[in-house]
């Protein structure tokens, strides 16, 4: 597999997930029969989402460009054979998710505890107190750039200790992470992670948006248990 093909497939995955998020957001806004399934009963104002859309689209575009550049230069550490070893893929997937979420927990917590950063950067994301799916990317560009460091730390960590970082592991990571972000920002009660221990569900993150405090973890909620930042409704 060539670097161009690897990057192209990755960007297609990224854009496809966000097109799905856009569709879910539109259905949430315009199909009133779905509103009763949302956790919060706050009134939905369609104009708010459409006013936020330019920043969301800017972030998707810049995210795609920087992802393409970063992955192109990191391509040499990936296994180019496309071998599908399920055990290796699952192990590497868990490592990337674990490292990414560990990094994000402390980044996210810092953005709340540092009042200047909260006011100037992270507060933008928290304008969405009852968010729609695609509003996971309604953030200051600096915030998602910092947050996107996590998975790259994960893949570089694997690359340091092995010469067989599977492209499948990263592709599956991209699908899982993006779908999870859409899920926890959708406003609907989660069904996806009910059977996965400590998996971050919509209720966990929605309380964070509602209270602007605690529940800093996204993928694995045990970070909030370990560091005593778990909040309940």
What is the pLDDT, as a whole number, of residue 173? 93
What is the pLDDT, as a whole number, of residue 191? 64
Q: How many CB atoms lie within 10 A of CB 131?
A: 25
pLDDT in tens, 99-114: 999 999 999 889 888 9
CB 99 within 8 A of CB 221: no
Residue 85 has pLDDT above 90, yes or no: no
Give the pTM. 0.87
Residue 8 has pLDDT above 80, yes or no: yes
Residue 197 has pLDDT above 60, yes or no: no
Assign 233 a pLDDT band (cuts: 50, 70, 90). low
CA–CA separation, 157 and 177 (whole Å) = 18
What is the pLDDT, as a whole number, of residue 220? 81
Residue position matching structure tokens 């957001």: 25
pLDDT, averaged across the chain = 84
């Amino acid at each position: 597999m060539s670097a161009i093909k690897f990057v192209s497939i990755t960007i297609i995955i990224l854009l496809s997930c966000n097109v799905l998020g856009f569709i879910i957001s539109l259905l949430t806004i315009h199909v009133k029969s779905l509103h009763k399934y949302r956790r919060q009963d706050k009134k939905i104002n369609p104009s708010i989402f459409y006013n936020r859309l330019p920043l969301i689209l800017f972030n998707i575009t810049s995210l795609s460009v920087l992802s393409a550049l970063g992955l192109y230069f990191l391509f040499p550490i990936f296994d180019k054979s496309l071998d599908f070893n399920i055990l290796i893929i699952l192990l590497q997937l868990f490592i990337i998710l674990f490292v990414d979420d560990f990094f994000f927990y402390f980044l996210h917590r810092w953005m709340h505890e540092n009042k200047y950063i909260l006011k100037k950067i992270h507060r933008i994301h928290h304008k969405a107190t009852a968010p729609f799916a695609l509003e996971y990317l309604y953030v200051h560009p600096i915030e998602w750039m910092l947050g996107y460091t996590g998975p790259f730390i994960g893949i570089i960590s694997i690359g340091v200790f092995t010469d067989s970082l599977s492209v499948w592991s990263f592709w599956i990571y991209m699908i899982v992470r993006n779908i999870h972000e859409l899920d926890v920002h959708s406003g609907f009660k989660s069904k996806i992670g009910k059977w996965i221990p400590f998996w971050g569900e919509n209720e966990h993150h929605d309380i964070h948006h509602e209270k602007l405090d605690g529940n800093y973890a996204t993928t694995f909620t045990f970070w909030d248990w370990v560091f005593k930042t778990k909040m309940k409704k």
